[in-house]
Structure 1
Amino acid sequence: MSRTRVGEIRPSQLLWTYGPGALIDLPNMSVITQGIDKWDKDRCEQILESRLLSAVRKVLGPQIETLNKPPMTDEEATSPMSAAALVGVPVKPFPRWLRCVKCGLLSPYDSGLFTLKKSPYRPEATRFVHGQCRGSKGDLPPKDADAVPARFLLACRAGHLDDFPWHWFVHGGQSNCAGNLRFFESGASLQTENLWVRCDTCNSARNMAQASGVNGREKLPACRGRHPHLDRFDEECDETPRAINLGATNGWFAVSLSVLAIPLKGNSLSQLVQDGWKSFEKCKSLEMLEIIVDTLKSTNSLPGIENYELEKIWSAIEVYRSGEDTEDQADLKAPEWEVLTADELPADYPHFMGKVVGIPSGFQEVMERVVLLERLREVNALLGFTRVEAPEEGAGDEAAPRAPLGLVKPDWTPAFEVHGEGIFIRFDAKKLEEWAALDPVKALEDKLRKGHRGWRFKRNLDPEEGYLGIRHAMLHTLAHFLIRELALECGYNAASIRERIYADTEEGRDQAGILIYTAAADSDGTLGGLVDLGKPNNLGRILKQALRRAQVCASDPLCSEHDPSKDQSLHGASCHACSFVSETSCECGNRNLDRALVIPTLQNGDAAFFKELV
């Protein structure tokens, strides 16, 4: 296999956009990221985060040993042909089918009709060419012409991806015709009804519009269960494949878990011992511990451990080894909620620094606490991916089949850490309970529940599972309003601001809060612009602006009249014009939203939580 270096992406993109099984659109070609069993694990830096590692093991199995960053290229490598310069994530060309931009020839890249021209000193110029092309009419002098990837693929909800069945599609099924195919356009626009495929030998032709919709699926073969990133075919697949465009956003959705690095129950040393347990596990004496701690200090592998004496570290190790300090970590957000709402915030943990500030004027009746997080660290781990439909938040693993990251069960998974700042707002749970008991709110919740049931029923899922609740919907919608408003003033773009919603009311929990934060890959974090806007005067002004701006949507009255119970959708009065945010910002895929729960709308003015403030 060729190891020519053909391009670069940011490490964080390997988690959110271009992970295993995802397509990467390079300047002149398209490639697919291969499974993690082909990544160079020895070049991957380990990330220490015990809570996340425990949660990943519950999903992927106890064989998971570490969370690792993607392999990094040595920036000091001068020659593009050196061994250090070739370190990275392996990819291969996909789709296999290419199209000549001059004559329209449609054929796989390994058919012998196309040639890969490598350019190690200018990786962006690496490309496939159709040698000795004579143009669409065959009357031009022979000349190399660029070949680009065919723009149609087949995908299914089980995560399978395949080349579009061009021969099957053109000939209406299995055919013995071995003629070359041509892709051509018949109109001025690039709409599918103007795109055609024709066989040179039998002159069979078909319009690409016939490949889409319900009728199009009847003209396509069954899913072959192909995982091109693993070079594997599953034995069977019951999902119906559908045609998608190359580069479409529904071609790859990450299934991930994320946690904030916080000390459990405020015990910073205990958390550090858990994070670095792989180093401490075989420690049998203080002398050995001294060597381990010195190594951790010199390599900065466990920041914060230098603040504690050896005797205290040894005691913490003994407590953790005995099992007295372990706890159920199935709920990733519960420990975060405990720390964020504690009477005293931890001050000795290197990845967490916050302070409590006053509540903005006019919001004292509905808010209980505002915390400015001047320093925070978020760690994300990739579990797998889906295609066609994004995974549903809170619905468990059965919401959508998750495609594997490697051929066999992995002993590690890709992860990434970011550092930043945030604003945490805790709301009065009693006020939310009183609001949820109002008849207009119950009527709106009934529509959201019916929409949720219908959405899951159409996908053969348990319609009674996965509903996040009316409290979550209100807090989630408010978080979106804040993200959109803060992006106008804080200096960060909206796609880099994220949310965490704390609205769990099951098993005696009474969470009611939102965390709006931004983070960067740099260890120094971000610039402090978001925290500054969380001060009482600024936050109160921004909240009022956000609520006022959301009252009228550019898509009204259609937006405010949207009824999820009729079209079986997962959101009410919400759309891109008023409350949707970037996929990287929302933890629920822009689902479970309804601005009528937050502010009065043209259609519903009685269910708003902030009715009196607007």
Structure 2
Amino acid sequence: MTRKLRVRQAQTIVPFGVGAIVETQGEAFVAADISHWPVSSCPWVDSPRLAAGLGVTGFKALPSAKNDFFDSPDGVGAPCVRFPAWLFCGACRRMRRWGVADEQPGTAPLCPACPTPQALGPMRFVQICESGHMDDVDWWWWAHSRATTDCQRSTQRLSFLVDHSSIGLEALSVMCRACDSSRDLLQLLDRGRTRCTGHHPWQGRHEAAHCTEHARVVQRNAGNVYYAMTLSALDIPAPTAEAGAVDPQIASRIRSDDLWPGLCRADDPHRAAMLTTMICEGQPGVSPEDVAALLRQENGGTETERTHPRKDRPSTAADMSWEEWAALNTSTAVNDKHFTVRPVRFGPEGPPTESERLLRGRIERVVVADRLREVRALRGFCRVQPSPRRMVGVDTTGRRSWLPAVEVFGEGVFLAFSEDALSRWEEQPSVRERVRGLESDLNAAFQMDRLSGMVGDALLPRLPLLHTFAHLLIRQLSFESGYGTASLRERVYARPGEGGHQAGVLIYTAAGDADGTLGGLAHQGASARLTEILLRLLEAGAWCSADPLCAEHGARGFANLNRAACHACALLPETSCEAGNALLDRVLLVGAPGITGFFQPVIDAARRQAAGIARGEDPV
């Protein structure tokens, strides 16, 4: 029977982006790099701001099926390569290395040795290295690694056996049927046994790089096999045209030039001048002044600042976050095609209670986003550890000047915190002392490179505070709005700046279609019930079912990057969190002995109010 293997278009960025293992219907594949994409069929995804930040000409998405039921089985889709190539039969236990020539369109691999067709399954283990390479385990070598017989590698007659009298990896073994040599898998996962082959599954053997790393054997669905390195940006209205602004048509022609990404990344002024001249020669009607103005417009600053960047200049993610922060933290409504926001009144309809007044003094502004557009781009991937310095690009040939991306639409709620209240709270010695330990763990963690753009030069107490608040708000909104926690996402704005610090969170939902979502999240932000939702959030956050262990526990989580946070109170699906469930501390919100939480006065007032109501007193 012909089968159709599918992934959603949005999944081609995360979790099934370039280099990821895709498992479906008992088969396993790896997504090939963008040099294998059907470029002529891939639509462009427009996001000039994100493209300028990443120094690329633009973005493309894989084509989506027009109809999920009647689409052609051999239609254009996501290019994948079968991996692991070593398969085994569950009936006769024979192994076979499956090649491209063995593939039959629309048919799963079948065992040629069994009298009745039996499906072949992929081997459970693969080998990876920190440079991002991945390959099959050399099973022939493993079966003969302790043998004294002289067996020819060309035979490759292997079997994957199970000993039901043993347990664990000791019960599994690979045997050569030609010489009866075998070895169990007990020590297979030990490090440093083999060198990396320098190979990616979609490459030919002649394309393998020279890699000096030791390969690590892991299970193919292990968490460290694939770390997607992504960057996303909201589609916000362009600033009002100023003197010297580039004509949109000329700007589009400059961005489409193949030399534009190199000019955006050029650090040498002589090289920048040469590339500018070449762009002008290749684009009639474009002047050097147009190119220089577009660089200033998109990179922010003069050409000297761009070609001689300051060492303390914030990262790309931080640069773009300031533009989003300014667009969201607005006191006037904006009605753009892909960015519709409106500030709303925050507070109850009637006279506020003490807890509501205290809460209003900490939340400065609420902005409802009725429509948002987000572009999510895949920059590359890592293996073993998520270090940007070891990132493998999405094009291993280096010939593409664009990146894969998808556009998603949705809605959201933005809350801006009071800078005065937040600054006074941050100055408390007990708060700074608690965050100092978290900052020390962050500086020593392997995740520092990935989180540096979010943290900035120093970890301010507001970042774990706002991040934990965003997690608790997502959990609470999942009950109020009808969306699951995995359907909601966060954007935390807590970066320090010379002219002022950010202090806000955006909770939004996005779907990979033009209609977006149905308005349930925006309704919660616009209604008078938002105050009640936040009070419920704080009530839930003040107590965890794992307390007192959760609240009193010291460093926890990956690399000790969390404090009072666990699955029972603050952790979210990783698709919802931009920091990988790191930098969370519930105590900073609700307080603990010796530490005043930012919202602790609100919680205390709400408890006094509840006690008064129980005694029959007026709550106001």
User: What range is the shorter-chain TM-score in?
Assistant: 0.7 to 0.9
CA distance 1:526–1:243, shift in 2 (3 Å) = same
Deviation of the 1:529 alpha carbon: 0.3
Q: Are 1:492 and 2:483 matched, yes or no? A: yes
Q: SS of the residue aligned with 2:299?
A: coil
1:132 to partner: Cα distance = 2.7
**One-letter amino acid of the counterpart of residue 42, structure 2:** C
| Aligned twin of 2:405 | 415
Cα drift, residue 428 of structure 1: 1.2
CA contact (8 A) 1:67 1:413 kept: yes
Question: Could you tell me how far 1:608 is from its partner in structure 2?
Answer: 2.0
Distance 1:537 1:8, change over 3 A: same
- Work out whether residues 95 and 153 of structure 1, in 8 Å CA contact, stay in contact via their aligned partners in 2: yes
Q: What CA distance in whole angstroms lies between the structure 2 residues aligned with 1:460 and 1:279? A: 33
1:418 partner letter: V
Query: Partner residue of 1:27?
Result: 25
**Alignment partner of 1:336 is 2:324:** yes
- Correspondences of 1:365-380 after superposition (within 5 Å): 365-380=361-376
* TM-score normalised by L of structure 1: 0.78
CA deviation map 1:449-479 (0-9, x unaligned): 22112324999999x9876432111111110
Q: Report the AA paired with residue 609 of structure 1.
A: F
Q: 1:454 aligns with which of 444, 460, 481?
A: 444
Residues in 2 aligned to 1:442 and 1:493: alpha-carbon distance in whole angstroms: 34
Q: Which of 320, 341, 346 is matched with 1:354 structurally?
A: 341
The answer to whether the 8 A contact 1:104-1:183 is kept is: yes
> Of residues 138, 142, 145 in structure 2, which corresponds to 1:169?
142
Q: Find the partner of 2:121 among 148, 151, 156.
A: 148
- Tell me: CA distance 1:48–1:435, structure 2 relative to 1, closer, same or farther (3 Å): same
Q: CA deviation at 1:516?
A: 0.3
Gaps of 5+ in 2: 257-288, 301-315, 348-355, 604-620
Residue by residue over 1:12-43, the C-alpha shift from the partner in whole angstroms, topping out at 9 and shown as x without a partner, is 00011112211111214211121111111111
Q: Which amino acid aligns with 1:447?
A: G
**CA–CA distance in 2 between the matches of 1:197 and 1:490?**
53
Alignment of 1:215-614 (within 5 A): 216-218=190-192, 220-231=193-204, 234-265=208-239, 277-278=251-252, 323=294, 326-328=297-299, 330=316, 331-347=319-335, 349-360=336-347, 361-362=356-357, 363-390=359-386, 397-398=388-389, 400-456=390-446, 468-535=459-526, 537-564=528-555, 568-600=559-591, 606-614=595-603
User: What residue in structure 2 maps to residue 312 of structure 1?
Assistant: none
What 5-or-longer segments of structure 1 have no aligned partner? Answer: 58-63, 120-125, 134-141, 283-317, 392-396
Identical counterparts, % of pairs: 33
Measured in 1, the distance between the counterparts of 2:10 and 2:561 equals 29
Question: Contact 2:93/2:160 (CA < 8 Å) preserved in 1?
Answer: yes
| Post-superposition offset of 1:561 | 3.7
Residue 323 of structure 1: how far off its partner (Å):
4.9
- Cα distance, 1:421 vs structure 2: 0.6
Distance 1:580 1:337, change over 3 A: same
d(CA) in 2 for partners of 1:565 and 1:145?
Answer: 46
SS at match of 2:224: helix
Residues 125 and 219, structure 2, Cα contact 8 Å, conserved in 1 = yes
Conserved 8 A contact 2:199-2:209: no
Give me the whole-angstrom Cα distance separating, in 2, the residues matched to 1:574 and 1:417: 32
> Which digits, 9 at most, give the CA deviation of each residue in 1:338-379, with x for residues without a partner?
1222332433x2111111112233411111100011111111
Give yes or no for the alignment of 1:71 onto 2:28.
no
Give distance in 1, aligned partners of 2:362 and 2:100. 67
The 3-state SS of whatever aligns with 1:382 is strand
Alignment correspondent of 1:157: 130
Instruction: Identify the match of residue 105 of structure 1 among 94, 97, 100.
Output: 94
Aligned residue for 1:564, secondary structure, equals: coil
* Counterpart Cα distance in 2 of 1:574 and 1:101: 43
Displacement of 1:129 in angstroms is 1.3
Structure 1 CA distance, aligned partners of 2:100 and 2:157?
11
Partner SS for 1:389: coil
Q: Is the 8 A contact 1:265 1:339 kept in 2?
A: no
Q: Secondary structure at the match of 1:483?
A: helix
Partners of 1:461 and 1:418 in 2: CA distance: 24
Shift in CA distance, 486/96, structure 1 to aligned 2, threshold 3 Å: same
More helix by share: 2
Q: 1:76 to 1:206 in 2, by over 3 A?
A: closer
Cα distance in 2 for residues equivalent to 1:573 and 1:170: 48
Report SS of the residue matched to 2:13. helix
Q: Distance in 2 between matches of 1:547 and 1:188?
A: 54
* 1:60-96 C-alpha deviation (Å, 9 max, x unpaired): xxxx322112133454996846xxx521222221111
Which residue does 1:52 correspond to in 2? 50
Q: Distance in 2 between matches of 1:528 and 1:380?
A: 22
Deviation at 1:258, TM superposition (A): 0.9
Structure 2 vs 1, CA of residues 143 and 478 (structure 1 numbering), >3 Å: closer, same or farther?
same
1:210 is aligned, of 172, 182, 187, to 187
**What's the secondary structure of 1:128's corresponding residue?**
coil
Residues 275 and 592 from structure 1, CA distance in 2 versus in 1: closer, same or farther, beyond 3 angstroms? farther
- Residue 484 of structure 1: how far off its partner (Å): 1.2
Equivalent in the alignment of 2:264 = none
Verify the 8 A CA contact 2:254 2:291 in the aligned structure 1: no
**d(CA) in 2 for partners of 1:200 and 1:531?**
65
Compute the RMSD of aligned alpha carbons. Answer: 3.6
Residue in 2 that maps onto 1:289: none
Q: Is the 8 A contact 2:409 2:513 kept in 1?
A: yes
The amino acid across from 1:129 in the alignment is L
AA of the residue aligned to 2:130: R
**Distance verdict in 2 for CA 1:564–1:516, change over 3 Å:** same
What's the CA shift string for 1:571-593, capped at 9, x where partnerless?
22222222111121111111111
Name the SS of the counterpart of 2:143 in structure 1.
Answer: helix
